[in-house]
Amino acid sequence: EDKVVQSPLSLVVHEGDTVTLNCSYEVTNFRSLLWYKQEKKAPTFLFMLTSSGIEKKSGRLSSILDKKELSSILNITATQTGDSAIYLCAANFGGTSYGKLTFGQGTILTVHP
Amino acid sequence: KAGVTQTPRYLIKTRGQQVTLSCSPISGHRSVSWYQQTPGQGLQFLFEYFSETQRNKGNFPGRFSGRQFSNSRSEMNVSTLELGDSALYLCASRQGLAGEHSYNEQFFGPGTRLTVL
pLDDT tens, residue by residue, A37-94? 999 888 999 999 988 888 999 999 999 999 899 999 999 999 999 999 999 999 987 6
Which among A88, A100, A103 is the nearest to B48, CB-wise? Answer: A100
CA dihedral A64, A65, A66, A72 (to 10 degrees): 90
What residues 33-72 of chain A have any CB closer than 8 A to a CB of chain B?
34, 36, 41-45, 48, 50
Beta-carbon separation of B55 and A97 below 8 A: yes
Which of A36, A98, A103 has the highest number of chain B CBs within 10 A, making it the mutation to test binding with B?
A98
Beta-carbon separation of A42 and B102 below 8 A: no
pLDDT reported for residue A13: 97
Chain A residues in contact with B90 (beta carbon < 8 A): 42-43
| Contact indicator for B71, B13 with CB cutoff of 8 Å | no
Over residues B89-100, the pLDDT tens digits come to 999 998 876 555
Q: Is the pLDDT of residue B2 over 70?
A: yes
Beta-carbon separation of B48 and A99 below 8 A: yes
User: Cβ of A90 under 8 Å from any chain B Cβ?
Assistant: yes
**Residue B103's pLDDT band (cuts 50, 70, 90):** low
Q: Which amino acid is at B44?
A: Q
| Contact indicator for B33, A101 with CB cutoff of 8 Å | yes
Chain B residues in contact with A102 (beta carbon < 8 A): 45
Span A14-36, average pLDDT: 92
Euclidean distance between CA atoms B64 and B103, whole angstroms: 27
